[in-house]
Structures are given as structure tokens and as C-alpha cells.
A = this chain, B = another copy of it.
Amino acid sequence: MHVAETTIQVRYAETDQMGVVYHANYLVWMELGRTKLIEDLGFVYAQIEKGGILSPVIDLNIQYKTPVRYGENALVKTWVEEYDGLRITYAYEIYNGQNQLAIIGQSKHVCVKKDSFRPISIKRMFPEWHIAYEKVKKQK
């Protein structure tokens, strides 16, 4: 199993009047975590889209344990929790500046054609990705 690590400098714009990071912004960081994981595997997500394929989220869950604050760097850990050739579930842990576990999350994705939003088989259309995901996914 490969765990990608990416460090995020908290942006002022990401805070809200609670004085902490607004809860929706962690989804953006989770996306940066996926991007880093894909990069670690030797691929580039932007290239996929140029081929007319998108990879939307179909299912998401997050537990908020403790806040992250402006002035801190957060650490996002990302790995492939499940993969079956069609759907990928990424899992995430986000740590705040005191190295406390702030967020636990999972997001499930499919690949679809940009013009129709119809799902495609990752295994058939991107055989190299398929092999890479099979190799790094969490072993049960």
C-alpha cells in the first residue's frame, strides 16, 4: 500500500468566522491529496481530462475530529482503500499543525465521458492505471 503525503499551507480565505478552516475546504485538500497520489504513481490527472474523461466523486464521508487553523501547515495522507476496475475509493487522514488527527475521510470515484457523464471501465480504457491501482491498493 502506498500512502501519498502532501503539505498544505492554510490560506486565510479558507477560514471562516469560527476562526478555523471552513468545513467544505477540506474537500479541496482531499483533492490535492488524490492529485499527489496519482503523481506518485507516475500519472497526471490533467492529462486524463484532456482525453475527454472526468473522474467525479459519487460518495463522500468525513469525520471532523479537531479544527485546523490559519498559520498552520496541514498534512494530508492519501491512499487507495478499495479498487475494482470501475470504482476507486480513496481514504484520507488530515493532521493539523500540532500533528493531531483533524479529519478522516473517504471518497468514491468513477470515470465518465465528459460529454455524456456515462461511466467507463478504468480497467479497459486505462490499463496502465489499472495495474498501478491494483498494486498500491490496501490489501485485505
Is there a chain B Cβ closer than 8 Å to A126's Cβ? Answer: no
Is there a chain B Cβ closer than 8 Å to A57's Cβ? Answer: yes
Is there a chain B Cβ closer than 8 Å to A127's Cβ? Answer: no
Copies in the complex: 4
A22-60 CB contacts (< 8 Å) to partner B: 22-25, 27-28, 31-32, 35, 44, 46-47, 49, 54, 56-60
The secondary structure that dominates the A interface is mixed
Specify the chain B residue showing the minimal Cβ separation from A24: B27
The segment out of A62-70, A75-83, A87-95 that lies at the interface is A62-70
Count of A interface residues, CB-CB < 8 Å: 39
Q: How far is the CA of A35 from the CA of B72 in the complex (A)?
A: 13
Q: Can you give 29 A-B contacts (C-beta < 8 A)?
A: A11-B32, A12-B16, A12-B22, A12-B31, A12-B35, A13-B16, A13-B28, A15-B16, A16-B17, A17-B70, A18-B54, A18-B56, A18-B114, A19-B114, A23-B27, A23-B56, A23-B57, A23-B60, A46-B71, A56-B64, A58-B63, A59-B61, A59-B62, A59-B64, A60-B61, A60-B63, A60-B64, A61-B62, A66-B117
